[in-house]
Structure 1
Amino acid sequence: MESRRDWTRLGRAIRSAREELGMTQAALAKAAGVARQTLRSLEAGEDRGRIPPSLGKVESALGWPSGHAMRTLEGRDEPPAPPAQTRPPYEGMPLRVIKELTDGQVLDSEVVDLTKPGSSSRLVVVYMSDAPAAEMDPEQLRAEIEEWTRVQRAMRRIAENEPPNVNEA
């Protein structure tokens, strides 16, 4: 007889682990190589008739041991603690950056490799909003996403030494 699968329990465990790691749904979906909608569905605890192949990918991206998601789904195991960080998350950052990172909601982020020969520079951009995305009206959210997309394209062109696109300015 098949054991009862608690998709809600698994969804809470995935969301909790993701948040403890400081990841957005988009970042975890990207790290796992799954669609954002797939991750959203897993976190929502939607009942499924079968085990999706994406479950192992999400489990791995969270740093969980193999089989842990299934044990959680079947109520046999609690999620492990996320990997310990080697240093505090804000160590070495200026106070004004720490303040900005702790005010508002992170909507997305981008890491642009600016490495030139002999350099190890990276540009990290965190896109934040004072209002949570869930509280924005659809038009406001669309405008925010369009602006963020424009900024990401411009950053990538800079990193690739391409001339700016005057139509996006």
Structure 2
Amino acid sequence: MESERDWERLGNAYAEARKLADLTQVEVAERLGVSRTPIQAIERGKQSNGRPFTKVSSTMRAYARLVGWAEGSPEQILSGGDPDYTPQEALSQPSEPSGLPSAVDRELRSGKTLDHAVVHLGGADDEDDFRLVVVVKGAEGMTEEEIDRRFEQWRRMRRTIQALPGGPDAPQDS
């Protein structure tokens, strides 16, 4: 388990990388679709409530990508190493805009997709009807046991969703 010092070291690394990228905390927050508060907390190495972090969050992963770190760099820093950097060519290629709010887009890009459901809520004869889309994501680094436990919770919740008018479409392979 990481110590408070490890999280502070990670926070300092984020702040240094942000400054090297010539970004302010406000600009980072805007690009990640969050308020400035989580950015300040990450750079401080402590949650906004003053407690130490216990795991690398999806916001931390998005921040790492923003400053050009390769996947796994936050964990490397927590273990006493240095970040690996993504090749500049990869950073310069803009990702396709999804049309979704940036916070939703970030969440959809993080973690492992476990399942999904689409529930048509009205206009059964229309192709452009009203629908609810649920995407079930697992956190980075979840064990198979954790995934199984969370999937069981989702399975129970899915029954509630299936009871909505229209019911879900059949699951599709992702």
TM-score (norm. length: structure 2): 0.42
